[in-house]
Structure 1
Amino acid sequence: MASTASVLPNTSVAASLGRSYRIQSLDVLRGLLMVLMAIDHTRDFFSSAPIDPADPVHSWPALFATRWITHLCAPGFILLAGASVYLQRQRKSAATVSRSLLLRGLWLIFLEITLVTLGWSFNFGLPILQVIWVIGASMIVLAGLLWLPLPAVGLFGAVVIFGHDLLDGIHADTLGRWKDVWELLHERGFLTYHHHPFALYGYPLLPWVGVMALGYCLGPVLLRSAAQRQRWCVAMGAASLMLFAVLRLLHGYGDPGDGFQHLGSASHTVMSFLSVQKYPPSLHYLLATLGVVLLLFALIDRVVEEAKLSKLRGFLEVFGKVPFFFYILHIFLIHAAALVVAYTTKANWRFWITPDVVFTSHLDDWGFGLPVVYLIWIAVVLVLYPACLWFSRVKDRNRSWWLAYL
């Protein structure tokens, strides 16, 4: 995923080194989220399960958990991107950061409808607008928001996140010529022009732009001492999860789905409790995922400060430093692997060069159980590590402006 550099300004360490430095905890957490994300995309291409893995009625615990842990990725990416913008703002002018966000946002949207779409389809069908598009669009909005006082940015983010579910009763099909505009803001599906689809759309702008705004407001917390920022993140994460639990138990506001139901077994009941809407992300979804992300940051930050698990931290940090580079490579690699396996096993390999099928169809009699899916995922991550390590070192050595766009 695209991210701005996680850099701290004007600290004693920076002063002693004569340069700024990255917050390693952010890179490690971002790397963990990237690796988790690859599980979901490996499952998309290789799982034999034709059902929605997040369906608490028809799914099973291992499949449900495989899907649910990857729910953390998009909220985490976008929250950390917003925080990184705030850290950049401490050493650059508002005009410089705003211009960079505008250009980077447009660049990401362009890559989403070209290179990323090609990676998903190996064909030029309908452009697919997913998380890269919404990160780019949110950066463009944040380019304007950062001129406002920090409390105003925080208020905007909170209103969007806590209030967007009030709009659930408005449906694009009832809005005539404004249909596509509303889908861009708050629904998913196909964008159409004169009843002809021209894009497959999965990530509406609301409430993701609010998540990035709150991430920007998280920046001052990250500038505190390690102990203070860990306490703040634990407190905010715990509060978020508690509010999520209360709303779920009370069948409260914030998720348009079926709500929490007592199903036939304890495991299915737990899955129902955790079954929250991602498209568009409901308040329940964001409270649960952002709560976990904040707790993970506090844990990782403590591990970093205590210099523990150095090899694992270093491994994850590599991916966290080059998230968009990893994102592009892993899509092409997983898709190519699925195509090769289909061809060698005499399955319908042409399915994997059909536009947009990975998100709309499932190949009959295709795929593997979760153990094999996880083995393929591990192989993908390990194969990509050397390339990501090389590129992270290139970025460390070379401060050319264009590297910030990769």
Structure 2
Amino acid sequence: MQIKTNRIESIDVLRGLVMVIMALDHVRDYTNTGYLFINPTNMDSTTPALFFTRWITHFCAPVFVFLAGTSAFLFGSKQPTKKNLSKFLFTRGLWLIFIELTVVNFAWTFDIGLGVHIFQVIWAIGICMMFLAALIYLHKTLLLVLGFIILIGHNLLDGITVQGNDPLSLLWYFTHQQGSVAFNNGESLLFIAYPFLPWLGIMVLGYCFGHFYQKGFDIKIRKKWLLYMGLGAIALFISIRFINIYGNLTPWSEQKDGAHTLISFLNTTKYPPSLLYTLMTLGPAMLFLYIIESVKNWFTNILVVIGRVPFFYYIIHLYVIHLFGLIGLTLLGENWKELVLTPQRFMSKYLATKGYDLWVTYLIWFITIVLLYPLCKMYMKYKANNKDKWWLSYL
């Protein structure tokens, strides 16, 4: 059955692509040697294969957050007033934060006590939507300027660092510095992986980007802008990174060989997303949208399905991958409970030397996508055939 929709397929294709790639990183977390407890971008220990397995997934979060802003603009263009959009953004933002701290946190840990409180991408999208609910009342030019100020200027705050669990320190962790704090004698662990400020700049720019996809916009002009923005962002990334003064928490340096020097050059900061990290990821995303504008084939059809139900896919894929992790750990002769990630297990890092080779990660990744696709397709059809159900817009 052909589903009629007014959605823009190129955006859904891009969103679907980054969702598929994202699963690779999460499968690596639950299968590859070291599990969640090693850093694949650590220059002292990484290999080219491991680094680029991680690097390709860097595109996922910024594109996802950016397109969340774009979707907000397109949703708002169908609303009678900005008040309707503002209410939706605020309430959906609250909902996403609730889901992050319950359903998503349980998917990551399988700890029924929810002793580990992780603030990741869903929290970041949620809190940014709540801010965007107010910011949409600004003039579009002022909003665009604000987005660029945050994107370009937030690295000026890199030198401000705090330690501790006092209210001001926690506020700064949530705003611009990744941090973790243990409470209740180690019985609870708070981990802020995604400080919101830089992500807000990305979402605001994504909202402004929606202008290019509003109804009636000239496709030729849009493609020209996509090409200019994509090439411009990549050129800026290379230029600023080469100068090696600003735009990232750590500079690059010459390494023992050309491959590791390239790794050092590309090893930009995600937590929080630096200016260079954002340019490095969103630039190619613009070029992808430029190329994919009129492309339609079996592969884009698959990506469209996943791209139309990203939240559903995100939740389900975490549970499937964690279950694969439990099975894999058992096959290694380990206690599967080591992947029931309580605060104590997080801090012990027992699994830091356990796991499978990288090829196993890629195999499980492929199996995961094959399993998820029909579920996504069924849910996509359900949403398309039940547009009268208001609650589906929150899922």
How high is the TM-score relative to the length of structure 2?
0.92
Contact 1:230 1:302 in 2 (8 A): no
Q: Please give the per-residue CA displacement for 1:76-113, whole angstroms capped at 9, x wherever unaligned.
A: 00111111111122221201111000110000000000
What corresponds to 2:74 in structure 1?
87
The range that moved more, 52-61 or 331-340, is 52-61
Structure-2 separation of matches of 1:208 and 1:195: 32
Structure-1 separation of matches of 2:181 and 2:76: 35
Structure-1 separation of matches of 2:21 and 2:347: 19
What corresponds to 1:56 in structure 2?
43
Contact 1:48 1:367 in 2 (8 A): yes
Structure-1 separation of matches of 2:162 and 2:100: 23
Decide which of 227, 242, 258 is 1:266's aligned counterpart: 258
What corresponds to 1:22 in structure 2?
7
What corresponds to 1:183 in structure 2?
173
* Pairing 1:238-277 to 2, within 5 Å after superposition: 238-257=231-250, 259-277=251-269
Contact 1:180 1:192 in 2 (8 A): no
Is 1:395–2:383 an aligned residue pair? Answer: yes
TM-aligned CA deviation for residue 174 of structure 1? 8.2
SS in 2 for 1:253: coil
* Pairing 1:202-281 to 2, within 5 Å after superposition: 202-223=193-214, 224-257=217-250, 259-281=251-273
Is 1:67–2:60 an aligned residue pair? Answer: no
* Pairing 1:321-400 to 2, within 5 Å after superposition: 321-355=308-342, 361=349, 363=351, 365-399=353-387, 400=389
Note the residue ranges of structure 2 that are not aligned, 5 or more in a row.
Answer: none
Decide which of 258, 275, 279 is 1:283's aligned counterpart: 275
What corresponds to 1:299 in structure 2?
291
Is 1:111–2:99 an aligned residue pair? Answer: yes
Amino acid at match of 2:394: Y
Contact 2:38 2:352 in 1 (8 A): no
TM-aligned CA deviation for residue 177 of structure 1? 3.9
Contact 1:101 1:143 in 2 (8 A): yes
What corresponds to 2:160 in structure 1?
170
TM-aligned CA deviation for residue 127 of structure 1? 1.4
Q: Please give the per-residue CA displacement for 1:187-225, whole angstroms capped at 9, x wherever unaligned.
A: 112246799765211000110001000001101122332
TM-aligned CA deviation for residue 378 of structure 1? 0.4
SS in 1 for 2:191: strand
Decide which of 66, 88, 99 is 2:87's aligned counterpart: 99
Identity rate, percent: 39
Contact 1:101 1:142 in 2 (8 A): yes
Amino acid at match of 2:67: L
TM-aligned CA deviation for residue 241 of structure 1? 1.1
Structure-2 separation of matches of 1:142 and 1:170: 25
Structure-1 separation of matches of 2:96 and 2:173: 20
Amino acid at match of 2:209: L
Q: Please give the per-residue CA displacement for 1:136-179, whole angstroms capped at 9, x wherever unaligned.
A: 00100110011111111111111111111111111123895411
Amino acid at match of 1:205: F
Q: Please give the per-residue CA displacement for 1:245-266, whole angstroms capped at 9, x wherever unaligned.
A: 1111111211121x12111111
TM-aligned CA deviation for residue 322 of structure 1? 0.6
SS in 1 for 2:160: coil
Q: Please give the per-residue CA displacement for 1:218-242, whole angstroms capped at 9, x wherever unaligned.
A: 0112233222212211111111111
Q: Assess, with a 3 A threshold, how the Cα gap between structure 1 residues 113 and 402 changes in structure 2: closer, same or farther.
A: same
Structure-2 separation of matches of 1:291 and 1:379: 30
Is 1:45–2:36 an aligned residue pair? Answer: no
TM-aligned CA deviation for residue 359 of structure 1? 9.5
Structure-2 separation of matches of 1:122 and 1:195: 21
Contact 2:22 2:60 in 1 (8 A): yes
Q: Assess, with a 3 A threshold, how the Cα gap between structure 1 residues 91 and 51 changes in structure 2: closer, same or farther.
A: closer
Amino acid at match of 2:262: V
Structure-1 separation of matches of 2:245 and 2:284: 20
Q: CA RMSD in A?
A: 2.0
The range that moved more, 358-367 or 39-48, is 358-367
Contact 1:44 1:358 in 2 (8 A): no
What corresponds to 2:118 in structure 1?
128
What corresponds to 2:144 in structure 1?
154
Q: Assess, with a 3 A threshold, how the Cα gap between structure 1 residues 89 and 205 changes in structure 2: closer, same or farther.
A: same
Decide which of 391, 401, 404 is 2:393's aligned counterpart: 404
What corresponds to 1:316 in structure 2?
303
Structure-1 separation of matches of 2:174 and 2:238: 29
Contact 2:268 2:276 in 1 (8 A): yes
SS in 2 for 1:363: helix
Contact 1:37 1:73 in 2 (8 A): yes
